[in-house]
Structure 1
Amino acid sequence: MKNRFTPLNLTLGSLFVALTAIGANITSIIPGLAVGGVPITLQTFFAVLAGLVLGSRLGAFSMFVYMMLGLVGVPVFAQFKGGPMSVLSPTFGFILSFIFIAYIAGKIIERKQTTLSYISASLIATALNYLIGTNLMYLAYMFWFEAPSGFTYKLAWIWMLPPLPKDIILAVVAGLLAYRLHRSGITKYQTSMEKNSA
């Protein structure tokens, strides 16, 4: 059935749930992993890659599962945190955005599979992650979380400048890696397995 995920789908989706959890805590697993003093986290990288490799539906679903695992208490969020109170965290908007960026990245490459489309999809998804995450962080500080002294909307965006170069580089890497995986035939293999199980 086309509307159902195959065992291969579920396996690949579970893999990206695990990779995103590892990416969230990579600096805890490998201390000192930073570029220019900015800690490297790979949550957004794997969320984008999920959409590029798995497609819009499965990519978004895998990120939804990742978010729900964290909310029920599994320590898959950054600093091995989890639980329903995570939804009140100022940074929860970035986690929520993973569902949307995986979907958008997948939708873009489902229309065209070129090197440029993969990189463009990855950069657009990363920009969307910043847009959703930063705006929800600002709202959190304004309405239900104690804001630092002198906090403004402009300051919220200034906070996002240090990790920006790292995230742009990782977005390009995600696009190139996903394209290489596509060219290697992994995507074709997944599609053929889906047809055989239909």
Structure 2
Amino acid sequence: MRMRYTPREIARIALFVALAAASVYLARLIPPIVIFGTGVPVSFMPAISALAGILLGARNGATAMFVYLVAGLIGLPVYAGGTGGIGHVLAPTFGFILGFIAAAWVAGRIAGQSSHPARLVVASVLALVPLYAVGIVYMAAVLNLYLHQPAPIAGLVLSMTPFVIKDVVENAAAGLLAAALIRRLFPERLGTVAGEAGAREGA
């Protein structure tokens, strides 16, 4: 398996790390969205992690999110609220930062080299599955084992419903954005739309 990164890949990975960090500060300027009576803080990270996987590929997208994770752990203020530091490992929400890596990888694997909007929307939305799976399990572990606060996973899943609704809409939009960006920045992938259509007709 190829492990080295080309200069172009490194530049694109760095761009997404910078985009992720900048999005944290942009999100602070937007008031929470009220869904079912719950104020849901704005976060662009679920969409950015999916975009990273779709546009950079599974490996490079996951790498970008891993670098973002490390940047925060070494103290750079790139996490929610403009924070950072190794202490975040013991925060209940740290699992979602880990989940961004899985989300990028899954989005990239599902999207493949496709530029078809429907497939990219599906890839982006399904990336939320590993994101929330990792995030909720980690949250339950920290709350129950470290903070000694009883928190059944079923209850945590239910409490995340407003967040999931917001993220599904956001990630669907990210999938459409990815399709538009591919047409401008990755023209070599445009031929896959015709290829997918031909494959369906021949099936």
Give the unaligned 5+ runs of structure 2.
190-203
1:33: how far off? 5.1
CA root-mean-square deviation: 2.0
Structure 1 100/31 Cα, relative in aligned 2: closer, same or farther at 3 Å? Answer: closer
Q: Aligned with 1:168: secondary structure?
A: helix
Q: Aligned with 1:79: secondary structure?
A: coil
Report if the CA contact (8 A) 1:50-1:59 is conserved: yes
- 2:69 is the alignment partner of 1:70: no
1:31: how far off? 4.4
What CA distance in whole angstroms lies between the structure 1 residues aligned with 2:140 and 2:10? 35
In the other structure, the counterpart of 1:99 is: 101
1:138: how far off? 0.8
1:108: how far off? 1.4
* 1:116-147 per-position Cα deviation (integer Å, ceiling 9, x unaligned): 21111111101221111111111111111242
What CA distance in whole angstroms lies between the structure 1 residues aligned with 2:135 and 2:124? 16
Structure 1 114/60 Cα, relative in aligned 2: closer, same or farther at 3 Å? Answer: same
Given the two structures, how large is their TM-score scaled by the length of structure 1?
Answer: 0.85
Matches within 5 A, 1:76-155: 76-110=78-112, 112-147=114-149, 151-155=151-155
In the other structure, the counterpart of 1:194 is: none
What CA distance in whole angstroms lies between the structure 2 residues aligned with 1:157 and 1:25? 27
Structure 1 103/151 Cα, relative in aligned 2: closer, same or farther at 3 Å? Answer: closer
Report if the CA contact (8 A) 1:119-1:171 is conserved: yes
Deviates more, 1:138-147 or 1:111-120: 111-120
In the other structure, the counterpart of 2:195 is: none
Q: Aligned with 2:76: secondary structure?
A: coil
Q: Aligned with 2:5: secondary structure?
A: coil
Structure 1 33/189 Cα, relative in aligned 2: closer, same or farther at 3 Å? Answer: farther
1:34: how far off? 3.0
Report if the CA contact (8 A) 2:69-2:98 is conserved: yes
What CA distance in whole angstroms lies between the structure 1 residues aligned with 2:143 and 2:25? 24
Q: Aligned with 1:10: secondary structure?
A: helix
